[in-house]
């Protein structure tokens, strides 16, 4: 039987539903394989990243489909924000928390919180107010105040996935940790803001309503974090008490995966932030649950979570590249090209200004709290942080579809312009930002290219400099690091070295109360006949 790519792409638009699904899945599997192979070949490139590679392949595939379907469609799947937020995003965020270098993350926690939460609110305010003032001069259709606030939330969401692909954890450990942590908190903050705006009554805005909105926002953040920690501790307690590995490691792995996904779905069920919940669930499960399972389960879960996250990241960028050529949206935008270009330019300018408005002032505030000159964030590092966080990605696209489209289709010209402008900003910042970030880092911070003894802010011991945020196995050598550290023992030391003091007290509390109940390294009972732990496997 003969087969041609032309007939294959034509069948995508005319085949029966079941056949179309098979064709679509086959095409995506083929493209995912191509992305992995080409990404591997370009791994040493100073310019290309896997996200840019996936976008480029998606664009090329979209062009081929567009030509073969005579301009009807450029993709084989209709974008669904439910698909993105319910199935694609949770494994990515969970793996980020599961693999996080906890010591580095919490050592820089104040800086990360400033950028990820406070910074996002500043950027949200600037983008919302700026678009509200500037869009009125353009004929883009009727937009309500809720739409402008949604635009602020949409374009405040950075793309941490693409950013981390262009930063090297060995060369820039501090920048890597700050941008990574900021990206996770930023995405959570943006989604929480977006959801809160949709539920908030914007017809009557008073000072009382504003304070209520802020209170609900903070409560949502706190409750989401607590839920993630609670589910993580529950999984650790169940696995420690029942010790499934005596009979089946498959049950251990399945339980960890299901409990992780349960944390996200429970957050969505109670209208909380699933991103924040599943992220902290991943941190807790890596600290307790992961040490309670057998050695084979540890290896399996570590690679399973990482592989699933990796494939889904590529899938998202691949689809964004294909969807960028969807003709339904561009037909509306093409009727007023000057307006479309103007909206995209304004949004891009607001993204640049909004990020600069919080990165440099917050770095200044952070530096005021540090007495040592070597611990302060230098100006070149500030510029790098500002540039590395400019990229916008799948979260922005998903939120834009949620606000301005219905079931993946655009209904109004104004909505079409907003979606095409979002795609334009995402493509521009991802491609241009991704291509230039590595050269900019090498130009601004050349001393970090081949140096392992880098002096980074918030890192006061030389040993900690060799601990990137994400280790090979996602865990930190807690015992080895703490042996040569002088532990603060007074309230006076709490003011001079707060991160070390808090960590010292937390370790004492953890060893005395938490680990005996929930397990963890050194607190797992040995059961004869079960696989034993090799000390050097994962630390």
Residue-wise pLDDT tens digits, 65-97: 888 877 666 666 666 777 888 888 899 889 888
60, part of any domain: no
> How much is the pLDDT for 155?
93
**Integer Cα distance of 395 and 187 in angstroms:** 7
479, part of any domain: no
> How much is the pLDDT for 266?
95
230, part of any domain: yes
> How much is the pLDDT for 358?
93
Cα–Cα distance list, 425 to 125, 275, 396, 431 (Å): 19, 23, 10, 10
324, part of any domain: yes
**Integer Cα distance of 182 and 335 in angstroms:** 39
Q: Which domain CATH number covers 294?
A: 1.20.1530.20
**Integer Cα distance of 356 and 32 in angstroms:** 35
Report the DSSP beta bridge partners of residue 406: 409
275, part of any domain: yes
From the list 265, 236, 340, 251, the residue with the least C-alpha distance to 300 is 251
Question: Which residue shows structure tokens 């390294």?
Answer: 521
**Integer Cα distance of 171 and 453 in angstroms:** 10
Is residue 243 left, alpha or beta, with left meaning phi > 0 and alpha meaning psi from -120 to 50? Answer: left
> How much is the pLDDT for 45?
65
> How much is the pLDDT for 153?
92
Q: Is 406 helix (H, G, I), strand (E, B) or coil?
A: strand
What is the domain range of residue 255?
Answer: 81-444
From the list 92, 97, 88, 521, the residue with the least C-alpha distance to 298 is 521
Retrieve residue 91's tokens.
């494994």
328, part of any domain: yes
How many structural domains compose the chain?
A: 1
DSSP at 466: G
Query: pLDDT per position in the chain (539 positions), as tens?
Result: 444 555 554 455 444 556 667 877 888 899 999 988 988 888 766 667 777 888 889 888 888 888 887 766 666 666 677 788 888 889 988 988 888 777 777 778 888 888 988 999 999 999 999 999 888 877 776 788 888 999 999 999 887 666 666 666 666 777 777 887 888 788 888 888 888 887 777 667 777 777 877 887 788 889 999 999 999 999 999 988 887 666 678 888 999 999 999 999 999 999 888 888 998 999 999 999 998 888 888 999 999 998 998 888 888 888 888 877 777 677 766 677 778 888 999 999 999 999 999 999 999 988 887 777 777 888 988 998 898 888 888 788 888 888 887 655 566 777 888 888 898 898 898 888 878 877 888 888 775 444 333 334 443 333 333 333 344 344 444 444 444 444 444 445 544 455 555 667 778 888 888 888 898 876 665 554 444 444 333 33
pTM score of the predicted model: 0.78
142, part of any domain: yes
Retrieve residue 332's tokens.
């509306």
52, part of any domain: no
Whether 502 and 260 have beta carbons less than 8 Å apart is answered as: no
Sign, CA dihedral 288-294-296-297, equals negative
**Integer Cα distance of 451 and 119 in angstroms:** 31
Retrieve residue 97's tokens.
């928390």
> How much is the pLDDT for 353?
96
């Amino acid at each position: 039987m003969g087969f041609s790519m032309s007939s294959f792409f034509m069948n995508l638009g005319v085949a029966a539903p079941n056949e179309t699904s098979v064709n679509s899945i086959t095409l995506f599997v083929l493209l995912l394989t191509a992305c992995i192979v080409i990404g591997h070949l370009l791994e040493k490139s100073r310019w290309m990243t896997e996200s840019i590679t996936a976008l480029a392949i998606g664009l090329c595939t979209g062009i081929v489909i567009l030509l073969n379907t005579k301009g009807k469609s450029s993709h084989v799947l209709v974008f669904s924000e439910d698909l993105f937020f319910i199935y694609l995003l949770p494994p990515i965020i969970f793996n980020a928390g599961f693999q996080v270098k906890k010591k580095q993350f919490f050592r820089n926690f104040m800086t990360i919180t400033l950028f990820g939460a406070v910074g996002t609110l500043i950027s949200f305010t600037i983008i919302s107010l700026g678009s509200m003032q500037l869009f009125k001069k353009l004929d883009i259709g009727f937009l309500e105040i809720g739409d402008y606030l949604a635009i602020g939330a949409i374009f405040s969401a950075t793309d941490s996935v693409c950013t981390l692909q262009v930063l090297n954890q060995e060369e820039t450990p501090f920048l890597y940790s700050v941008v990574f942590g900021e990206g996770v908190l930023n995405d959570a903050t943006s989604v929480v803001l977006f959801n809160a705006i949709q539920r908030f009554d914007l017809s009557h805005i008073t000072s009382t309503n504003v304070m209520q909105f802020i209170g609900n926002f903070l409560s949502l953040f706190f409750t989401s974090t607590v839920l993630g920690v609670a589910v993580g501790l529950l999984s650790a307690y169940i696995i420690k008490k029942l010790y499934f590995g005596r009979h089946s490691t498959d049950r251990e792995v399945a339980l960890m995966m299901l409990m992780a996904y349960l944390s996200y779905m429970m957050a969505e069920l109670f209208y909380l932030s699933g991103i924040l919940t599943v992220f902290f669930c991943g941190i807790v499960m890596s600290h307790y649950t992961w040490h309670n399972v057998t050695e084979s389960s540890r290896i399996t879960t570590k690679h399973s979570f990482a592989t699933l996250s990796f494939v889904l990241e590529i899938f998202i960028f691949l689809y964004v590249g294909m969807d960028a050529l969807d003709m339904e949206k561009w037909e509306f935008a093409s009727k007023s090209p000057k307006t479309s270009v103007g909206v995209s330019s304004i949004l891009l300018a607001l993204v640049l200004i909004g990020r600069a408005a919080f990165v440099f002032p917050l770095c200044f505030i952070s530096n005021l709290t540090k007495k040592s000159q070597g611990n302060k964030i230098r100006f070149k590092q500030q510029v790098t942080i500002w540039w590395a966080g400019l990229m916008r990605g799948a979260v922005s696209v998903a939120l834009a579809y949620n606000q301005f489209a219905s079931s993946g289709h655009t209904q109004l010209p104004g909505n079409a312009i907003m979606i095409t402008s979002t795609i334009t900003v995402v493509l521009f910042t991802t491609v241009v930002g991704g291509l230039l970030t590595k050269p900019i880092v090498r130009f601004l911070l050349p001393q970090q290219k081949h140096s392992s003894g880098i002096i980074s802010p918030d890192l006061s011991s030389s040993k900690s400099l060799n601990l990137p945020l994400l280790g090979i196995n996602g865990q930190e050598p807690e015992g080895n690091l703490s042996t040569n550290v002088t532990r603060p023992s007074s309230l006076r030391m709490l003011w001079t070295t707060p991160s070390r003091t808090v960590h010292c007290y937390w370790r004492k509390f953890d060893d005395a109360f938490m680990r005996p109940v929930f397990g963890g390294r050194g607190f797992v009972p040995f059961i004869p006949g079960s696989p034993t732990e090799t000390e050097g496997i994962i630390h």
